[in-house]
Amino acid sequence: MQAHETLRVGYVVKRYPRYSETFIVNEILAHEEAGLDIEIFALRGPEDTHFQDIISRVRAPVTYLPDRLQKTSDFWGVLRDAAKVCPKIWPMMAAISETDAREIAHGVALAAHAVERGITHLHAHFATSAATAARIASLCTGIPYSFTAHAKDIFHESVDSEDLAAKINAASAVITVSDFNVDFLNENYDIPHGRLRRIYNGLDLTRFPYAEPQNRPPVIVSVGRLVEKKGFEYLIDACALLQQRGTDFRCIIVGSGEFGAQLQQRIQEQGLGDTVLLMGSRPQREVIELVQGSAVFAAPCVVGDDGNRDGLPTVVLEAMALGTPCIGTDVTGLPEVLIDNVTGLRVDQRDADGLADAIGRLLHDGEARLRLSRAARQLIETLFNVRPNAAAVRELFKPASNQPLRRMSA
């Protein structure tokens, strides 16, 4: 195991733990395996009722930053306490005066913790509130920070482009999770060449063993939060078409979210109550067994009306690793991994007919499932192994890499 005696990294996240963010846990575990000293700082506590099994393997201590400010005096109390450790907080207040009070409290508390614990680098996941806290802490301490941008934090209509530009400008490095995202950020922000890095989210492939799919039962599976961008209504509509065609199948959708009730209503309206099951959230070990026991994994992702979309869903990568042939849409990073008719099948977003055709093809053709799954596993082994990918992230934490980005034009 390689030691990192001079590096002590603070990972900054909005909530910890979080059911849907296994990619962050995978990254932290790979860092710890390599000997990196990590502490986790969370802006808020967990709100999920289920958690993934791998959370228990994380050794890093977790600190929750002050989030419940009932009175003005609570806010000033946080600042006074932090200033005892970081007196630079007071002269920096002018630079962050337009920031929300709770975000200021997060940032200055993070600054004090970072100084007290000898943190040498801060890394935030998502370009929203976690990156805001890291930026404020960096301003108050001089400790460099970086962040990983994923999807909603750069695509959603609510994104403040000036705020995101300021975070990019102050960061020592910016990571994002697909080539599509790289192109989007370069087109919309003035980022010096080489300072924005595409590093794919990685998988611990020992936890996702490959199994050949040609003899599996006719089960379609999909996994994700029940929200607009996942496109599950089009999967339900595709299942209705398959049923009309006399296709023998079952469909299981794993996950929970705000669209649950309307998706269940759609299932009933289509007469699919005995065929399509909304299973709710499940521990990852159960999801792995379910995915590897299915003939097809469907990812009918769409660009939402609010601009929100997936970056590159980790569950698709996991399914590909497990040997389950995948069908996805042409949204953001999916075409980078689902090379049509090579590593998977691809259909247009919101095209229930095309999705039904693709699912029907794979349900009936075991040899096609085998061919696609073998190529998919090879691609995952080449590009999505968490150990080399996390090592690439660690390189950006080293002091030699921490050269600030040049200031962007207005």
Q: pLDDT, tens digit, for every residue of 345-385?
A: 999 999 999 999 999 999 999 999 999 999 999 999 999 99
For residue 367, count other CB atoms closer than 10 A to its CB: 8
Query: Residue 51's pLDDT is what?
Result: 65
- Helix H or strand E segment including 362: helix 352-364
Domain-located, residue 407: no
Residues 370, 238, single domain; the answer is yes
Residues 270, 339, single domain; the answer is yes
Region of poorest pLDDT, from 85-99, 207-221, 323-337: 85-99
Domain-located, residue 2: no
For the cut 60, the answer to whether the pLDDT of residue 130 exceeds it is yes
Closest CA to 295 of 214, 368, 233, 406: 214
User: Could you tell me the CATH number of the domain that includes residue 189?
Assistant: 3.40.50.2000
Domain count, the chain: 2
Domain-located, residue 375: yes
Closest CA to 402 of 12, 93, 2, 6: 6
Residues 214, 328, single domain; the answer is yes
Q: Got the DSSP string for 95-128?
A: GGTTS-HHHHHHHHHHHHHHHHTT--EEEEESTT
Query: What Å distances lie between residue 334 and 132, 269, 374, CA to CA?
Result: 28, 30, 18
Instruction: Quickly state the pLDDT bin for 246 (edges 50, 70, 90).
Output: very high
Instruction: Quickly state the pLDDT bin for 50 (edges 50, 70, 90).
Output: low
Domain-located, residue 410: no
Domain that holds residue 215: 205-383
Report the C-alpha gap between 16 and 10 in whole angstroms: 13
Contacts of residue 168, defined as CB under 8 A and 6 or more positions apart, other chains included, come to 174, 185, 189, 191, 405, 408
Report the C-alpha gap between 54 and 44 in whole angstroms: 20
Percent of the chain scored above 70 by pLDDT? Answer: 95
Residues 246, 188, single domain; the answer is no
Domain-located, residue 1: no
Dihedral of CA 371/373/374/378: which sign? positive
**Half-sphere exposure of 297 toward its Cβ, with a 13 Å CA cutoff?**
32
Report the C-alpha gap between 125 and 409 in whole angstroms: 25
For residue 392, count other CB atoms closer than 10 A to its CB: 14
Domain-located, residue 184: yes
Dihedral of CA 209/28/101/172: which sign? negative
Residues 145, 64, single domain; the answer is yes
Residues 138, 226, single domain; the answer is no
Instruction: Quickly state the pLDDT bin for 19 (edges 50, 70, 90).
Output: confident
Report the C-alpha gap between 194 and 102 in whole angstroms: 33
Please report where in the chains the tokens 């209503």 appear, as a residue. 265
Residues 174, 268, single domain; the answer is no
pLDDT (tens digit per residue) in 156-176: 999 999 999 999 999 999 999
For residue 235, count other CB atoms closer than 10 A to its CB: 24
Domain-located, residue 3: no
Question: Contact at 8 Å (CB) between 51 and 24?
Answer: no
Q: Which of 52-61, 279-288, 374-383 has the highest mean pLDDT?
A: 374-383
Residues 231, 246, single domain; the answer is yes
Q: What is the mean pLDDT of residues 195-205?
A: 95
Report the C-alpha gap between 135 and 148 in whole angstroms: 13
Query: Residue 53's pLDDT is what?
Result: 75
Residues 344, 394, single domain; the answer is no
Query: Residue 67's pLDDT is what?
Result: 82
Query: Residue 404's pLDDT is what?
Result: 42
Q: What is the mean pLDDT of residues 141-165?
A: 96
Query: Residue 153's pLDDT is what?
Result: 96
Residues 91, 144, single domain; the answer is yes
Residues 131, 209, single domain; the answer is no
Domain-located, residue 220: yes
Instruction: Quickly state the pLDDT bin for 405 (edges 50, 70, 90).
Output: very low
| pTM (2 d.p.) | 0.90
Q: What is the mean pLDDT of residues 230-259?
A: 97
Residues 241, 178, single domain; the answer is no
Instruction: Quickly state the pLDDT bin for 70 (edges 50, 70, 90).
Output: confident
Q: What tokens were used for 396?
A: 């950006």
